[in-house]
């Protein structure tokens, strides 16, 4: 069995000064994140923060009719559970593991105590929250104004940014659910991308063959969100370049 990734694989924890990091370290509990696992359901009290060290978590809203729409993707650049330190303790959205990964969770009560000290962790979490809000807002614009192919390409490239390889394990149905569209539309777009030799799709696995050309087909929303994350989070641009 392979060893779990270091907590420092999370870019927020990696950006903490050594003193602050060492103070948190004994209380960081390693947690495996299997694909499909619900980190938090709608309205559920967020008792822990999950600092992702690997994997991808999708945050989305589910309507009474069963339709869904994603507003954020989170990988090792971020944390799940921002409501716990913003004061609300819960949100009407859901957070579900998209790609298998690993996280270090911290009890919300301990986090709030550290947050109240108005130190580096508070500043990092507030800047991360601003980046998360920017992502959610830009996705709302994207869903309203851009073509489906642009949105699919944006979503794939955003997942690639949070993946260690060029292979994404996900079905057309899952992508359709996250984008709030019909599965047939995703199948049509995937067929065009495969014909253009940008991706290869087989049995729920999408291999990206030409990332630069795939990124060129995204709308401006991908670049807008990436610039904001690079601007607000100290290690984000360096991690993306590596």
Q: Residues of 93-112 as b/e, b for ≥16 C-beta within 10 angstroms?
A: bbbbbbbebbbbbbebeebe
Helices (H), the chain: 11-14, 18-24, 83-86, 108-115, 120-145, 148-161, 172-179, 183-195, 211-216, 220-232, 236-241
What pLDDT, on a 0 to 100 scale, did the predictor assign at position 17?
94
Question: What angle (nearest 5°) sits at the alpha carbon of residue 226, between those of residues 224 and 231?
Answer: 95
**CA torsion, ordered 146, 149, 152, 154, to nearest 10 deg:** -60
Strand partners, 106: 49
- Give the pLDDT of residue 57: 97
Q: What is the pLDDT of residues 178-198, one digit of tens each?
A: 998 999 999 999 999 999 999
Per-chain mean pLDDT for the chain: 93
Domain boundaries, the chain: 1-116, 144-226
- The predicted-structure confidence for 21-80, as pLDDT tens digits, reads as follows 999 999 999 999 999 999 999 999 999 999 999 999 999 998 888 888 999 999 999 999
Yes or no: say if 135 and 72 are a contact pair by the CB < 8 Å rule.
yes
Residue 87's pLDDT is 87
Query: What is the CATH T-level fold of the domain 144-226, as seen in this structure?
Result: Arc Repressor Mutant, subunit A (1.10.10)
Residue 90, pLDDT score: 87
| 139 contacts: CB under 8 Å, gap ≥ 6 | 70, 71, 72, 221, 225
Architecture of 1-116 per CATH? Sandwich (2.60)
For residue 239, what pLDDT is reported? 64
Q: What is the pLDDT of residues 82-140, one digit of tens each?
A: 998 888 888 899 999 999 999 999 999 999 988 888 899 999 999 999 999 999 999 99
Angle formed by the axes of helices 148-161 and 183-195, nearest 10°: 80
End-to-end CA distance of the chain: 26
In this predicted structure, the answer to whether residue 226 has a pLDDT above a threshold of 70 is yes
Residue 240 has pLDDT above 70, yes or no: no
Do 125 and 133 touch, CB atoms closer than 8 A?
no
Residue 117: predicted pLDDT: 87
Dihedral Cα 25, 28, 165, 184, nearest 10 deg: -150
| Interval 207-234 mean pLDDT | 95
Q: What pLDDT is attached to residue 225? A: 96
Environment class of residue 137 by beta-carbon count within 10 Å: exposed (0-12), middle (13-18) or buried (19+)? Answer: middle
Residue 235 has pLDDT above 80, yes or no: no
pLDDT of residue 236: 74
Residue 182: φ, ψ to 5°: -75, 145
Q: How many helices (H) and strands (E) does the chain have?
A: 11, 9
User: What φ, ψ does residue 162 adopt, rounded to 5°?
Assistant: -110, 10
Predicted pLDDT of residue 157: 97
For residue 234, what pLDDT is reported? 77
């Amino acid at each position: 069995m392979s060893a779990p990734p270091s907590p420092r694989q999370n870019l927020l924890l990696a950006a903490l000064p050594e003193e602050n990091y060492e103070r948190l370290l004994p209380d960081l509990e390693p947690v495996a994140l299997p694909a499909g696992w619900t980190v938090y359901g709608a309205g559920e009290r967020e008792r822990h923060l999950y600092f992702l060290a690997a994997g991808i978590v999708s945050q989305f809203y589910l309507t009474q009719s069963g339709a869904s729409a994603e507003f954020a993707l989170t990988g090792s650049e971020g944390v799940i559970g921002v409501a716990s330190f913003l004061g609300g303790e819960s949100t009407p959205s859901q957070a579900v593991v998209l790609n298998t990964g690993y996280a270090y969770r911290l009890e919300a009560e301990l986090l709030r105590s550290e947050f109240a000290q108005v130190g580096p962790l508070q500043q990092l979490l507030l800047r991360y929250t601003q980046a998360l809000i920017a992502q959610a807002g830009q996705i709302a614009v994207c869903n309203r104004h851009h073509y489906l192919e642009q949105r699919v390409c944006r979503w794939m490239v955003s997942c690639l940014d949070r993946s260690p390889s060029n292979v994404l394990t996900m079905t057309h149905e899952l992508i359709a659910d996250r984008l709030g569209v019909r599965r047939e539309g995703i199948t049509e777009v995937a067929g065009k991308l495969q014909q253009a030799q940008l991706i290869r799709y087989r049995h729920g696995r999408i291999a990206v063959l030409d990332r630069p050309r795939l990124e060129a087909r995204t709308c401006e929303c991908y670049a807008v969100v990436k610039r904001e994350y690079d601007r607000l989070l100290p290690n984000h641009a360096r991690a993306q370049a590596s």
